[in-house]
Amino acid sequence: MSFDLVFFGGTGDLTWRKLMPALFQAFRHGKLPAGGRILAVARDDNSDERYREWLKERFREVDGSKRPNDEEFERFAALIHYRRMDLSQPEHYQGLKDWLDARQAETVVLYLATSPYLFTQICQQLGAVGLNEDRVRVVLEKPLGHDLASAQEINRVVRSVFKEEQAFRIDHYLGKPSVQNLMALRFGNALFEPLWRRESIANIQITLAEELGVGTRGAFYDGTGALRDMIQNHALQLLTMIAMEPPSTNDADAIRDEKLKVLRSLKPFTAETVVRDVVRGQYRSGNVGGTVVNGYLDEAKVPENSHCETFVALRTEVQNWRWAGVPFYLRTGKRLAARDAQIVINFRQVPHPIFPGTNQANRLVIKLQPEDGLELQLLAAKGGAHGEALTPVSLDLDFDKAFATNRVGAYERLLLDAIAGRLNLFVRSDEQEQAWRWVEPILDAWEQDSTGPRPYNAGSWGPAAASALVAKDGFAWAEEQ
């Protein structure tokens, strides 16, 4: 299948840190379809050869196992081209169209790896020159808007140029192999589905924790914050996949219809419940991995006395028959005690314990990063003596070891799906807008709250109020159990 893949923002961090290395892995593994061209678009005055040399230097910063040797890069670089474009100039879009039309590839994928404020301008210009025919797909990188109104405006402009099935709104968490195994766990096996409901599950916890701070991205991050950066998209997408009803088929719209139903069933926030059920925090100086690190307000390009949150923990419920009364706890933050992304399904205690000692409830841990796997925590008897207390044991499945050959990374999977036209792992506009609709009362309440976020030490698990949030229901975060 012939294809042209165009990266707007071809010299940006996302392109050289994530997208080009992902494409190279697809190329190395023989998964990239033959007959493809990769075009980087940016304002710099470069030739194909100079851009390839620049990219080769950038590849030296990629993880060793994913770094091409000289021969591999030479073959991969033969696919790569460069075109100078000023995205404000209509004639430059016409030049791009002429370049693409000269070959008439079967598929054209336009990846907007730019600042989101350029999305509407780029889409309008693409439509003006006719770069919106059926063979064209547009990929929109997050963040998709700053609030509900801006997200709706982006979607309005995108819909005025492209059909819904041509718009690929990307959330790289959905491309992670562990997230794909979440779907397989639920809908490819009969074991858990009878238990996947309020009668058997006590609570569900989703944690997306980072050890890193904001680094050099202080100015960008301060205008975004943890709620917009992680909860509105990544965490909510994971929640929908945990809570959704079984779709009728594995088709994109069947899956996305069920995810949308979950988003519409989430308990809405009010100004009062935001105070009770949402904790926001901001890291101060502390110790991470044996190194003393700055607090958020001391980071480069962070405004003095900023109220930007670097941590969010919240409690919500899915108000339907399957999940009524089951609390869902979502948590994310920077400068936390570990880099750890996981979903913890805490099952209920047995209704009538007959063994001595404290009987810990069963727990299923779905590990997203840095490990990729499943851990089922059970209780068992050692067989040492009559009347002994039960001992916790784990069934631990490491997917990296179980499927050791050529596993596909998140961006690699999503880029291949965009080229192939598979929408299953991309977010539909109504999903995206409903997620914004749900978080907007939190943003509104914080706007009226002059107290700002609670401080927490770098290297901790966030403010103490986050533990209290879960303790009010008689539960605890996984690391506290």
User: Tokens in use for 331?
Assistant: 């948590």
User: Which tokens go with 216?
Assistant: 């050099």
The candidate with the shortest Cα–Cα distance to 19, out of 6, 2, 4, is 6
Task: Report whether 172 contacts 145 (CB < 8 A).
Answer: no
Q: Measured in whole angstroms, how far is the alpha carbon of residue 368 from the centre of its chain?
A: 11
Residues 388 and 385: their CA atoms lie apart, in Å, by 6
Structure tokens at 337: 């005690």
Neighbours of 306 (CB within 10 A): 18
The answer to whether 3 touches 108, Cβ cutoff 8 Å, is: yes
Angle between helices 20-28 and 70-77 (to 10 degrees): 100
Residue 209, H or E segment: strand 201-209
Per this entry, what is the length of the chain?
481
Q: Is 92 a catalytic residue?
A: no
The token duo for 460 is 């901790």
**Nearest CA to 274 among 237, 234, 243, 316?**
316
Q: Is 386 exposed, middle or buried (0-12, 13-18, 19+ CB in 10 A)?
A: exposed
User: Which of 81, 92, 172, 234 is the catalytic position?
Assistant: 234
- Residue 73 to residue 34: CA distance in whole angstroms: 16
User: Active-site positions?
Assistant: 234
